[in-house]
Structure 1
């Protein structure tokens, strides 16, 4: 998937239409832009990090963008091709809450073992805090990554085993209005 070719067939466009929340003309527009920015047909981790730097100029987005890159790069070849890009964009911008929760779970489940450990969540939350820098004023009980993760785990980890299952993550996320709001942040923007 990540090897990327310079041309996509009509069948490939039709398949992407069926697999995403985009219309065929939108996929064509995204494809043209992607190929303009990535003429090789794929985006490297460095390219991806440069894009994040533009959106978060006042913080350090390198760690977080690497985590996101790894979720986009479904075939784990170190590159994001157009198909990987458009499918992830579809989920994050137009997917259902359920789609977004599964995608987010994959982001936090760094080692891919089907569970989010306390340390994995701490790694992601620390990266988010570094990325937003001082742009966001946080309540005292979330003023550090550790406090935020402690708060999340105290609400979500019903088995108290310092790991979250997908089900615990889904139920806990749906019960937290700030998480639901964050997951729906990009709705309608794309």
Structure 2
């Protein structure tokens, strides 16, 4: 880690024109911003790979008042799109863009994918409780009594939005429900 600059010849140390074009097409970042993000990424991760521990450290910078660990466990698995146990620059910048630049539907879709822990295309009460608790942790929300209790909130959301009556939420039900719940929407997409 004492490496001040990236070594020449490493595939992750230089952005190709094709890579920049792909990132510009899939984010709202300019080439200059992409290059700045890349320089910062290499400064923090000279190997060009971000592991889980470093990922948590990076997220803690964005949410210093919260506890990022629980959220990051799910986020890391979602962002590590090739499942190699690390996040490379492309995966990193696409994840940052999706969680910060996407419209409300995009952010909620990302949240759904992240918390559909079983991968069955549905979120049940246990998964939704995990989602809400992790979001509370991330933003430093400590008042979890009454209507803010994650399990109660998850149960209420499912009861209200479960159109199919299967006690689970589809992606469409989840997105519609979050859009209509200002507290959950504020947690999932604070800038939308």
TM value normalised by structure 2: 0.83
2:5 counterpart residue number: none
- The yes-or-no answer on 1:112 pairing with 2:112 is no
Cα distance in 1 for residues equivalent to 2:185 and 2:111: 11
How many residue pairs match? The answer is 182
| Match runs of 1:160-175 below 5 Å | 160-175=165-180
Cα distance in 2 for residues equivalent to 1:58 and 1:177: 21
2:73 counterpart residue number: 66
State the SS of the aligned residue for 2:121.
coil
Residues 125 and 145 in structure 1, CA contact (< 8 A), matched pair in contact too: yes
- Which residue of 71, 82, 90 maps to 2:89? 82
Deviations 1:138-158 (A, max 9, x none): 56212x221121122122222
Distance verdict in 2 for CA 1:57–1:97, change over 3 Å: closer
Residues 108 and 120 in structure 1, CA contact (< 8 A), matched pair in contact too: yes
2:28 counterpart residue number: 21
- The yes-or-no answer on 1:121 pairing with 2:112 is no
Residues 135 and 187 in structure 2, CA contact (< 8 A), matched pair in contact too: no
Deviations 1:135-186 (A, max 9, x none): 54356212x2211211221222222312110111122122222333334324
State the 1:96 CA deviation.
1.4
Segments of structure 2 that go 5 or more residues without pairing to the other structure are 1-10
Distance verdict in 2 for CA 1:173–1:16, change over 3 Å: same
- Which residue of 183, 187, 191 maps to 1:182? 187
The higher relative CO (CA closer than 8 Å, separation ≥ 6) is in: 1
Deviations 1:56-108 (A, max 9, x none): 56654322211111111111111111111111111111111221121111111
RMSD: 2.2
